Structure 1
Amino acid sequence: MSSGAKQLVQIAKETVIGTVPSPFARQTLAFTDISLNQSVEKTESASITDSRLQQSSMITSAEYSGELGAEAQYGAYDDLMAAAAFNAWATNVLTFGGTTRQTFSVLLGYTDIANYHTFSGLHVNTFGIDIPEAGLIGLTFGFMGTKRTTAAVAPVGTITPASANPRMSNISVGDLLVDGVSVKGTACITAFSFNWDNSMQVQKCLGAGLEVGAILEMSAKGTGSFTMAWSTKAAELYEKQFINGNISLSIPITDTAGNKYVLNIPKVELTAPLATGGKDDILNTSFEYTVVDQAPTLTRTPKV
């Protein structure tokens, strides 16, 4: 039997897609949950024999996918963010929707039973940021990979410990800007999310066995939501959807050590319902947004 506290996740950049680096020097990642897994598709036999019993099925394909959830820490997940953006950090600015492919090998281990799984060719298909009204900021990375191997001994390679940077929470969020202007004093945003989807698809090839032939990115889609207390400003934003109006959003996040991220979303379209509630409720509404025309950016600033 295995303890949840004995799980580990370690990651390394690949120089060749689908090839585990040798030696497997890797970075330990802190995580809250992981669903990385190999699944198979079976095809039932349609053969008729001298028995009424169903004939054995055959495995005809496999997929390697899953999500990793984590609590936001400055610098700890920057490589995964870059892979999701399909870009490299350039002077500490990451632009989403690029063309630079980055893949990883990930070791998922159950150390108390000496059971290790190495997933390779992992692409970051989806990325999410979730800022709650009260609590730690969550990050989610959705992977798609090309193969998996298993072992009873951890691979050889230098291991870098998990980041010790402070975790980020709702308290870490600074002045939110709508159209470049702070909403402090005119509106109250109580929760915020951002999601990026590379719409990846698996290419299956004859001769590859259960390995995936290739993973291709399609259209890049940015979406999200924010909850806003009903106010004059909220009512103004509500009306935007009826004229197909756009707004920009800027969300700064600073940890207790002074490290900072700023998510800038230059152009989004909005949808939202009117506020509703009982006589003892604080009225609010949830705005859903879609990124259009211009790429979001994430800027990082290390502590001085």
Structure 2
Amino acid sequence: MSSGAKVISAFIRETTPGITPAGAWNLLKRSSWGVKPSQNTKDNDEIGGTRMAQGATLGTVDVGGDVGTKFRWGQHDAFLASCFGADWSGDSLTMGNDRITFSLATYASDIGVASISRGAQVSVWKMEVPNDGDITSTITFSGLDWDSKADDTSFIVGTATDNAGELRYSFKEVTGISLNGVDGGAGFCIDTFNIQFDNNMQTQRCIGTGSPFAGANIPTTFTPKGSITLSWSKAAWEVWSKTLTGATVPFSFTLANDEGQYTFAFPKVQVAGDWPDGGNTDIIQVQLDITAADVSPTVTRAVTVPATAISVAPATSSGNVGTTATLTATLTPAGATDVVQWVSSDPAIVSVVSTGQKTAQVTRHAEGSATITGKVRTFTAISTITVTAP
């Protein structure tokens, strides 16, 4: 008998679709594994000497299925590239026409049984963002070949390298979410949402190969889509009203933790949804289906570089009521990616608003002085602002 905890899952990118290359395998952390062969059969309608059924005829074999995962930094970059049909250009990804495939393998080390799917291409990539708990991703693969064995050896050569981040992204790491130019939490409350990129994959089969497997899996229309559940409000109505006009709106969000961040930007999405209703104790919500149109979404990534110190310039500043000044923070190391948070000790005298990752503008309102604090992580620095009569 085998334990699921002893089944190793790994992948390697192929150079030629359907051929497993030599090289290092990557460990695939997953919560479920549905990649397998599905044997298609046809009933044999022959009539024999008795009324006994004459068995079935074996037909084609489909290879593929879903792999369920938690979303982690670095683990999905190659799969997103396969789904989009393009390699990352630096740290940006958009739709292309390349064919990116993998060999996917498992090995049950306690019983010595191994499997491999070759020519596996991502047909659908889906992300679910809940209102509590971890963000999950489901990868749907379509493969060209399948093999298995039970001789106590694995198709995975060597020890698979774990390139995934240690941290799982959760609902708390969703930042910068925006729909129709309105930030979430300002004009509306987003309860849950999901996105998926669907290649509408079609299978091509070729007679004469002697193989029951697909000859090729061909992506057709690339359809990014999803669903957003909003609390009903005027801002939500503004978006819902586009259902009746077909007008598009922008949608974007960022996932950021201490290892890195991803930003998913949909320049144009069309919306569809029913008019909402609710009982006398319900919070009324509207569910909107979104479908990207005309322009490909873009995914960007950036490694998080944590700050270890901060200073603010100028350290002091004096000016009349009604004047403004710019504060600039310097972070250590120089490439730190944290965004500085700014707070005034007395907003009635001096207010402060962020104008960038490391900059802020202060406005002098009344005579006196106030301390402006810039903060990143646990590190702080101050600037003393003095206000004089005009």
TM norm structure 2: 0.74
Mapped contact 2:180–2:239 kept (Cα < 8 A) = no
Mapped contact 2:165–2:259 kept (Cα < 8 A) = no
Aligned partner of residue 19 in structure 1, secondary structure: coil
1:198: how far off?
0.5
1:36: how far off?
0.8
Mapped contact 1:180–1:250 kept (Cα < 8 A) = no
Q: Runs of 5+ in structure 1 lacking a partner?
A: none
* Alignment map for 1:64-79 (pairs within 5 Å): 64-79=63-78
2:340 paired residue number: none
CA distance in 1, matches of 2:7, 2:159: 18
Aligned partner of residue 233 in structure 1, secondary structure: helix
Distance 1:48 1:253, change over 3 A: same
Give every structure 1 segment of 4 or more consecutive aligned residues whose post-TM-superposition deviation is greater than 3 Å: none
Where relative contact order (Cα < 8 A, 6+ residues apart) is larger, the structure is 1
Aligned partner of residue 175 in structure 1, secondary structure: strand
CA distance in 2, matches of 1:114, 1:63: 25
> Deviations 1:211-258 (Å, cap 9, x if unpaired)?
321111111112101111111101111111112121000111101x15
Aligned partner of residue 194 in structure 1, secondary structure: strand
CA distance in 2, matches of 1:74, 1:87: 19
Aligned partner of residue 238 in structure 2, secondary structure: helix
2:85 paired residue number: 86
CA distance in 2, matches of 1:283, 1:45: 55
Aligned partner of residue 295 in structure 1, secondary structure: coil
Aligned partner of residue 80 in structure 2, secondary structure: helix
> Deviations 1:151-209 (Å, cap 9, x if unpaired)?
23113335213524311000000121123442332111111110111011111112232
CA distance in 2, matches of 1:58, 1:158: 41
2:34 paired residue number: 35
Mapped contact 2:114–2:148 kept (Cα < 8 A) = yes
1:136 paired residue number: 134
Mapped contact 1:260–1:302 kept (Cα < 8 A) = yes
CA distance in 2, matches of 1:74, 1:3: 27
Amino acid at match of 1:46: D
- Alignment match of 1:111 (pick from 106, 109, 124): 109
Amino acid at match of 1:213: G
Task: Mark the structure with the bigger radius of gyration.
Answer: 2
Aligned partner of residue 285 in structure 1, secondary structure: strand
Mapped contact 1:6–1:111 kept (Cα < 8 A) = yes
Amino acid at match of 1:150: S
Aligned partner of residue 287 in structure 2, secondary structure: strand
Mapped contact 1:115–1:151 kept (Cα < 8 A) = yes
Aligned partner of residue 222 in structure 1, secondary structure: strand
Distance 1:234 1:54, change over 3 A: same
CA distance in 2, matches of 1:150, 1:245: 51
* Alignment map for 1:204-215 (pairs within 5 Å): 204-206=205-207, 207-215=209-217
Mapped contact 2:167–2:259 kept (Cα < 8 A) = no
Aligned partner of residue 241 in structure 2, secondary structure: helix
1:19: how far off?
0.6
Amino acid at match of 2:73: Y
Aligned partner of residue 241 in structure 1, secondary structure: helix
Mapped contact 1:73–1:166 kept (Cα < 8 A) = yes
Aligned partner of residue 11 in structure 1, secondary structure: strand
* Alignment map for 1:208-247 (pairs within 5 Å): 208-247=210-249
1:45 paired residue number: 44
* Alignment map for 1:278-297 (pairs within 5 Å): 278-297=279-298
CA distance in 2, matches of 1:192, 1:123: 25
> Deviations 1:90-144 (Å, cap 9, x if unpaired)?
1201113x10110000002222211110110101000101100111111111000
Mapped contact 1:261–1:301 kept (Cα < 8 A) = yes
CA distance in 2, matches of 1:136, 1:291: 25
Aligned residues: 301
Q: What is the identity percentage for the equivalent residue pairs of Structure 1 and Structure 2? A: 28
Higher strand share: 2
1:32: how far off?
0.9
CA distance in 1, matches of 2:165, 2:184: 33
Mapped contact 2:35–2:64 kept (Cα < 8 A) = yes
2:322 paired residue number: none
CA distance in 2, matches of 1:216, 1:100: 11
2:149 paired residue number: 151
1:188 paired residue number: 189
Q: CA RMSD, aligned part only?
A: 1.5
1:47: how far off?
2.5
